[in-house]
Amino acid sequence: MKTDRFTKANRVVWIGFLANLLLTLFKLFAGIFGRSAAMIADAIHSISDFMTDLVIAGSLKVAARPRDGNHKYGHGKVETLAAAFVGGVLLLVGVGILYSGIINIIGHFGDHPLHRPGMIALYAAVLSIGIKEVLFRYTIHAGKKVNSTVLVANAWHHRSDVYSSLATLAGIAGAIFLGNQWVILDPIAAILVSFFIFKVAVMIVREALLELIETSLPSAKEREIIQIAGDVKGVHNPHDLKTRKIGSNIAIDMHIQVKHDLNVKEAHDITVELEKCLRDKYGDDTHISVHTEPL
């Protein structure tokens, strides 16, 4: 099960890595030869993409390891740490792009006037939007299918590229088609890119931190767990539910009541059936602890 999940997730990461590498090289080329500050900023953003792909690939490999004596809940939190890393990298990239845009604007009104971008920068922006939107849809679908926090985070990393490339496209197009007096739109677009990146980065880091501090699952999910438990024959009054997320898996700790005149084996069989129902719903690697009380 874990091996199959790792294989699927790993394939998605390496497809993204190859696409990001080729796209970054093309955008850097287009930015330099097309004299576009916004496209160079976009290319720098893309450099972070294939670097984080390598970190994600490594985290998925570690997370796929079986439980051992020192990690009895598995290694799923490694995925969460990798997701936080992706968000942190995005924050740094956003700061760098914001700084670069401000410096270019200041320089334009000083001793370093901006040049009108070339058409190749415009073509690169259009190509980037198309490829990144495809990568976003492909990765988000796969991330939800295999229930991977880090893949979903990486998908939103791709979507941040779509936003940034849209801003880049607008800035480059304005600088090209509206005349030299509008070349300032190019670094302004780069600054807008940084704000898009900040928004996505904060979302990713927030989700990862909530998981790392072991925030409970959403209320709707907890109500569903209680409902499943209550539907198991012999289970009464499921209560004191505690839940948390461990990478792609969840942990469930709950109390139930069974009739006081049952023997140990009968009470145990009810608990085993409850665990089976929960694992059928949430996966074989779900961590379950059930405390049984007499009714």
What is the rounded CA–CA span in Å between residue 120 and residue 35? Answer: 9
pLDDT of residue 227: 95
pLDDT of residue 182: 80
Residues of the chain with pLDDT under 70: 1-3
pLDDT of residue 51: 76
* pTM of the predicted structure, to 2 decimals: 0.74
C-alpha distances out from residue 137 to 90, 131, 151, 156, 188, Å:
19, 10, 11, 10, 28
Ordered structural domains, the chain, with CATH: 2-212 (1.20.1510.10), 219-294 (3.30.70.1350)
Dihedral sign (CA 105, 39, 186, 45):
negative
pLDDT of residue 274: 95
For residue range 154-163, what is the model confidence (pLDDT) as tens digits? 888 888 888 7
What is the rounded CA–CA span in Å between residue 92 and residue 99? Answer: 11
> Based on the number of CB atoms within 10 Å of its own CB, is 293 exposed (0-12), middle (13-18) or buried (19 or more)?
middle
Rg for the chain (alpha carbons), in Å?
A: 25
> Among all chains, which residue has been given the structure tokens 């088609």?
177
What is the rounded CA–CA span in Å between residue 158 and residue 14? Answer: 14
